Amino acid sequence: MKHPAKESLGKIFSAGTSYYGGLVQSHAPSAFDLRHSLSSYNKASKCVIPCKARSMMQFSCGSSSADQEIVIAMGSNVGDRVSTFNRALQMMKSSGVNITRHACMYETAPAYVTDQPRFLNSAVRGTTRLGPHELLKKLREIDKDIGRTGGISYGPRPMDLDILLYGNSQIDSGTLIVPHERIHERPFVLAPLVDLLGTSSDDGIEKSWHSLSKCNGGFFELWNKLGGESIIGTEGIKRVLPVGNCLLDWCERTLVMGILNVTPDSFSDGGKFQQVEAAISQAKLLISQGADIIDIGAQSTRPFAKRLSQNEELERLIPVLDEVTKIPEIEGKLLSVDTFYAEVATEAVKRGVHMINDVSAELGVPYVVMHMRGDPSTMQSDENLQYDDIHIDIASELSAKVREAELSGIPLWRIVLDPGIGFSKKSGDNLKVIAGLKSIRREMGKTSIGASHVPILLGPSRKSFLREICDSANPADLDAATVLPVTIGILNGANIVRLHNAGYCADAAKFCDALHKRRRWEK
């Protein structure tokens, strides 16, 4: 007689085999990808001709007559660097800068003057009607208001804002050089700058920016010359997610998120953990199994689930949340709340939650953007299950959500992507998504390389497509079967895996991380 777990794993493996090619390839755009993208730019525009230096008379002091696309670099290594970044964003917005896109956040080793704390670096893209010198004056005022004094050149500073690009202009005056003269030698500047570009050839201003780089391959080639993606994750430069009081390098290892449902109607474990004592016991069990994050949900999102009011959700959530924050085992772990109500999210963050899973609000915590069409009552309708190319369609719809989040004030460095396994997808679609995360990243990179780098959260645990494949009516019997889609997902670029039973997949995550590290050493 076959062991049920082995039989389930065999069925999952068979179902996923056709999607299994190239599992341990890097998910990030490679040096070749970026060179190819620049080649596409050149072909699309016939020839990229560097813009002539413009006379500074039109920009001497007043505002520009039209919106100018700009890129501003940000750096800080004094005080609460993350809070300083947030403050600088708000001050730029109130000073005439309309921020439309953010780069990822990087923690970097100091350059030039090395005996000082590590920096946080990023950049923003936006528009302004301020002239370049007027913009420079505003940025210097922000630096000063935040606390920057003269100090030594390249020394410590609470905030340093620099104009990297201003329209398609070349500027060389006594006080301002654009493009910034040291871009080519600074990975902490080039990494965020490249994040703000796309790999397609549709953006006219980006073509001009590449031509201004004074390099045939544009900023992509400059970045690749410094090492490109191969240097990310080294001591010199790490891509980070600010969570609570820490900066999380999500590529260092896969994070395990344990699910704690305090609902009567969740598809897998509804009713089991509604009582506070049972919920606390489950939280402790998940942590002992290897969970790094406890994700508490007080409202079911299964198909056709009844929607609670925010007050009903809070009545379920708060008693459990308050007790979970008190247990000794939660020390060093992260707390997440799964909700689509801004009011519930706000209350949860006030009580110590570090992360919000799918809500539209800026609370200074990571925000999980999940792919779903419609709502739980309509997501599995025939209309919402139609895809032309599922990877392209999901990438496009996630990109639109990321764009909306950024325009509402949520910076890219706080965003996590969830492709929504089981939401608006047929069984076969879920398999394609799990094995095609690299394709989704690549498609997102066409409009925003930064968006293609953010963490991906994957949640296949006990989902209905596993029940169909394994012919199992009991969701709790699918924990072993969950291991394979989790493994395939991690090898394709998932950074966080969301599970009902953390123990089954914690070791699989460690194994995948070891494979990733081995590949990196071999390079």
Active site residues: 463, 498
Left, alpha or beta for 190 (phi > 0: left; psi -120 to 50: alpha)? Answer: alpha
Phi, psi for 163 (deg, rounded to 5): -80, 115
DSSP 71-132: EEEEEE-SSSHHHHHHHHHHHHHTTTEEEEEEPPEEEE---SS-SSPPEEEEEEEEEEEE-H
Other CB atoms within 10 Å distance of the CB of residue 11: 18
Q: Please, what's the b/e burial string for 133-159 (b: 16 or more CB within 10 A of its CB; e: otherwise)?
A: bbbbebbeebbeebebeeeeeeebbbb
Question: At 369, which helix (H) or strand (E)?
Answer: strand 367-370
Beta bridge partners of 239: 106
DSSP structural state of residue 456: B
Strands 63-76 and 160-166 turn out to be: antiparallel
Instruction: Look at the alpha carbons of 333, 339, 344, 345 in this order and tell me if their dihedral is positive or negative.
Output: positive
Q: How many CB atoms lie within 10 A of CB 322?
A: 12
Could you tell me how far CA 8 lies from the centroid of its own chain? 33
User: Packing angle between helix 132-146 and helix 81-93, nearest 10 degrees?
Assistant: 140
